A and B are shown apart, each in its own frame.
Chain A
Amino acid sequence: MNIFTKAFWLQLSTPKNFYPIAGKLIPWFLISATLLAVIGLYYSFFVAPVDYQQGNSYRILFIHVPTAWMSMFIYVVMCIYAILGLVLKTRLSDWMALALAPTGAAMTFLALWTGSFWGKPTWGTYWIWDARLTSELILLFLYLGFISLNSAIDDPRRASRASALLALVGIINIPIIYFSVKWWNTLHQGMSVTVDKAPTMATSMFTAMMLLTFAFWLYTIAVALMRVRNIILERESQTAWVQDLVKGKN
């Protein structure tokens, strides 16, 4: 099987072929996510030093920052799938977008929650209406809107196309979240990790953050694949191969 040919990818994108491959990939993603999470948590609790200003309370940021990154990243990936679904009319792309949304919403919620837990000892408040927090909250609403629009429309084709369009309208929020700490004078601190500069924190802190980011990333892939397998079974329940599968003939 040559993975560089178009035929290979076309074959892969049919639900029937994707279903077993996704099933084989899931354990690998789950195992590596767990491994990275264990190492990352070990780093964040035992290796990373105590912060000289915030004490130990800063350690929740090892969850906060990766989930916040993932909340934005998943939205972008979701939009890419949505565009693919709209342009190429591939059902699998629509389903991938749908499968990613709940995890994206969960990541957004976790980012907000851990952020407010960190804010209480550091800023003295659980919540403040500054640009970064507000735009992240809007991101949560966008995910919820995507999911509800998708479930409100009965015809699955129309549902995925309409929600894809909604996702594309909402993507304007992503740069707003990302640059909000630059554009406005916010209470939320600026970026410590950027592409073009060395991170402004201890190396062990950076390592822990990166390990946990990759752990969340792999976890997201694993969960999205699980969910998309369920969607495939649900939407393809009329086809022969799913009926065979359910009856245990395969």
Chain B
Amino acid sequence: MFAVIRSLLWREMTLAIRRRAEVLTTLFFFVIVVSLFPLGVGPEIDTLREIAPGVLWVAALLASMLSLNRLFADDYMDGTLEQMLLASQPLSILVLTKILSHWLLTGLPLVLISPVLGMQLGLDMESLLIMVVTLLLGTPVLSLIGAVGAGLTLGVRGGGVLLALLILPLYVPVLIFGSGAVEAARTGMEIQAHLSLLGIFLVLALVLAPIGAAKALKIALD
């Protein structure tokens, strides 16, 4: 089982390194979206500091969603997905591995670059730290929930827009508590509850989302 997980993870990483542009596109998208806000709302640092948590989180949400289309699409096209379906290991474990690699390639870079962007928007050190923690807890949830949507819209006409319509409403709780925690840290309020809830989302999504995504893939390949 672990051998399969390791080799699948290795394969995903190799593919990503061979096609660096895709990983970088998501990252640049994140940076550009965040950079647009100071241009749009004006460079007053107080305003920027106030909207920073929301801006960073919404940008992270969109960036993570942007790459979801590709999560299963290539494997679907070249038949790899069917082989996974036939494999003796449970599909949900394989799906979880794919989600993990998706997060490592899109979620984690976002988390790593977010302090730089947060600093540009005038967040102080403590808020930056909290933001990194919330993004670390939250972005895996985005990949997990997104995988269910990616499975449901696999090979569907206009899949990209539809995926956004299906998934964004489900992202809302993560957005609320993620940006809420940063906002609370910025104004010096209690953040424990926000972080606990994000942790709950992560645990629940970790358990349920792979099963849901596997079911969605089975429906898609039926």
Q: Does A134 contact B (CB under 8 A)?
A: yes
Q: Does A106 contact B (CB under 8 A)?
A: no
Q: Does A157 contact B (CB under 8 A)?
A: yes
Contacts of A166 in B (CB 8 A): 152, 166
CB atoms of A141 and B169 under 8 A apart: yes
A176 to B197, CA, bound (A): 13
Contact mask for chain B residues 118-160; partner A; CB cutoff 8 A; 1 contact, 0 none: 0000000000000000000000000000001000110011110
Contact mask for chain B residues 7-27; partner A; CB cutoff 8 A; 1 contact, 0 none: 000000000000000000000
A-B contacts counted at CB < 8 A amount to 54
CB atoms of A152 and B162 under 8 A apart: yes
- Contact A145/B172 with A152-B158, A162-B216, A169-B148 known, Cβ cut-off 8 Å: no
Contacts of B166 in A (CB 8 A): 145, 148-149, 166
Contacts of A142 in B (CB 8 A): 169
A30 to B46, CA, bound (A): 58
**Chain B: minimal CB distance from A104 (Å):** 15
Complex interface residues of chain B between 178 and 222 (CB less than 8 A to chain A): 212, 215-216, 219-220, 222
CB atoms of A158 and B169 under 8 A apart: no
A161 to B221, CA, bound (A): 12
Q: Does B45 contact A (CB under 8 A)?
A: no
Q: Does A233 contact B (CB under 8 A)?
A: no
Which residue of the partner chain, among A148, A153, A176, contacts B165 with CB atoms under 8 Å?
A148
A170 to B152, CA, bound (A): 13
Complex interface residues of chain A between 134 and 148 (CB less than 8 A to chain B): 134, 138, 141-142, 144-145, 148
A161 to B216, CA, bound (A): 9
Which residue of chain A lies nearest to B221 when distances are taken between CB atoms in the complex?
Answer: A158
Contacts of A31 in B (CB 8 A): none
Q: Does A47 contact B (CB under 8 A)?
A: no
Main secondary structure of the interface of A (DSSP, over half): helix
Contacts of A169 in B (CB 8 A): 148, 170, 212
- Contact A170/B216 with A153-B156, A165-B152 known, Cβ cut-off 8 Å: no
Which B residues fall within an 8 A CB radius of A?
148, 152-153, 156-159, 162, 165-166, 168-170, 172-173, 176, 212, 215-216, 219-220, 222
Q: Can you give 25 A-B contacts (C-beta < 8 A)?
A: A134-B176, A138-B169, A138-B172, A141-B169, A144-B165, A145-B162, A145-B165, A145-B166, A145-B169, A148-B165, A149-B152, A149-B153, A149-B162, A152-B157, A152-B158, A154-B157, A158-B219, A158-B220, A162-B152, A162-B220, A165-B219, A166-B152, A169-B148, A169-B170, A170-B170
13 more contacts with CB within 8 A, not counting A134-B172, A162-B152, are: A138-B169, A144-B165, A149-B166, A152-B158, A152-B162, A162-B216, A162-B219, A165-B148, A165-B152, A166-B152, A168-B212, A169-B170, A176-B173
